[in-house]
Homo-oligomer: A and B are copies of this chain.
Amino acid sequence: MSSLGEVGEFGLIAAIALATRVGAGVEIGIGDDAALVAVSSGKVLITTDMAVEGVHFRTDWSSAYEIGRKCAAANLADIAAMGGVTRALVVAFAAPPQLSTEWALQLTQGINDECAVEGASVVGGDTVRGEIITISITAIGEVSPAISAPVTRTGAQVGDIVYLLGQTGASAAGLEILSRGLGIAPGLIALHKVPKPPYESAREFAALGATSLCDVSDGLVADLGHIADASGVTIDIDVDALDISELFAAAHELEVDPFEWALGGGEDHAFTGTLPPQAVPPAGARAIGIVCPRGEGAVVSAGIALGHLGHDHFSA
């Protein structure tokens, strides 16, 4: 099997271009100084997300294909969290020259397959040498035609209902199971390796008049905190409304509080946001709290601030 050093940068780019599906709106794809993508709205949503070997993923736990799907999902979810749909991705990739070309192509395949879920295309990238595998993806999208403007974190109003789309905690649970070297709960491990963001539900939620919407990547309490801070409100959540049924058996086995996973675990790429009380939520949305006037603490439950949960990327 050839290494990146053997096929060289331009050989790798040619192989990636061949392996890459080109979808609608791509007028110039991989291979020039820049790509050209048509967006009907004239307004572009942009987000970027970087993953570093040993920090965000381990090559002994996840396959290149799984890492590709997860890295792409993190970006696609951020665009969906604005009520948008991704049109194009660019991928910057650092790797040591001894890495196998097959690994890089499997990564590409994973990125492509996750893009296909949203109808997006990989349109360019950069491949460079580095001791540690680093994957930096930028997604370009546009707001769904069903809404007039993107849904931000700033619009939550007192009295709005807080909803959760998708499950939280599975990724953190899967990570802990892997960390302890256990063979239980393959479903949770699979969701740690490849999250399943409910992209379409996020856009439905936006179209129903969402006043705020956010991807749950730092942990539910942390991301609700972003909405609360940006909107100048306090969010009061009912922890009993969270569905921990899938976490329960593993939490019992590991002697962990499943609510630590559900409230504090990151990387699930679920969505959370707010709707006015009269709005009808989409199927699958779970009401988990209410928006209150700003008090002490961004996110509370039964009067207790939940600010200690969540993830800071520079903390030890």
Name A residues whose Cβ lies closer than 8 Å to a Cβ of B: 4-5, 7-10, 12, 27-28, 31-52, 54-56, 77-79, 81-82, 84, 88, 90-94, 97, 123-132, 134, 136, 138-141, 143, 150, 152-154, 213-215, 230, 312-316
Contacts and interface: CB of A to CB of B under 8 A. Distances in A.
A60 to B, nearest CB: 18
Nearest to A5: B314
B55 A316 contact: no
Nearest to A32: B152
A141 B45 CA distance: 13
A316 B28 contact: no
A127 B90 contact: no
B97 A314 contact: yes
Given A44-B36, A48-B138, A126-B50, A31 B230 contact: yes
A138 to B, nearest CB: 4
A84 to B, nearest CB: 7
A140 to B, nearest CB: 6
A314 B8 contact: yes
Contacts of A36: 43-46, 82, 143, 150
Contact of A9 (B56, B138, B140, B313): B313
Contact of A81 (B34, B97, B129, B312): B34
A42 to B, nearest CB: 5
A284 B9 CA distance: 32
Contacts of A126: 48-50, 136
Nearest to A153: B32
Nearest to A12: B314
A27 B39 CA distance: 16
> Which 4 pairs across A and B sit closest by C-beta, in order of nearness?
A136-B136, A138-B138, A50-B92, A34-B47
A33 B313 contact: no
Q: Which of A47, A213, A313 has the most CB of B within 10 A?
A: A313
Nearest to A135: B136
A38 B42 contact: yes
Q: Which of A4, A40, A129 has the most CB of B within 10 A?
A: A129
27 contacts: A8-B312, A10-B312, A12-B314, A27-B43, A32-B153, A33-B81, A33-B213, A36-B43, A46-B88, A46-B90, A46-B124, A46-B140, A48-B125, A50-B93, A50-B128, A52-B128, A52-B129, A52-B130, A94-B134, A97-B314, A97-B315, A129-B314, A132-B132, A134-B134, A134-B136, A138-B138, A140-B140
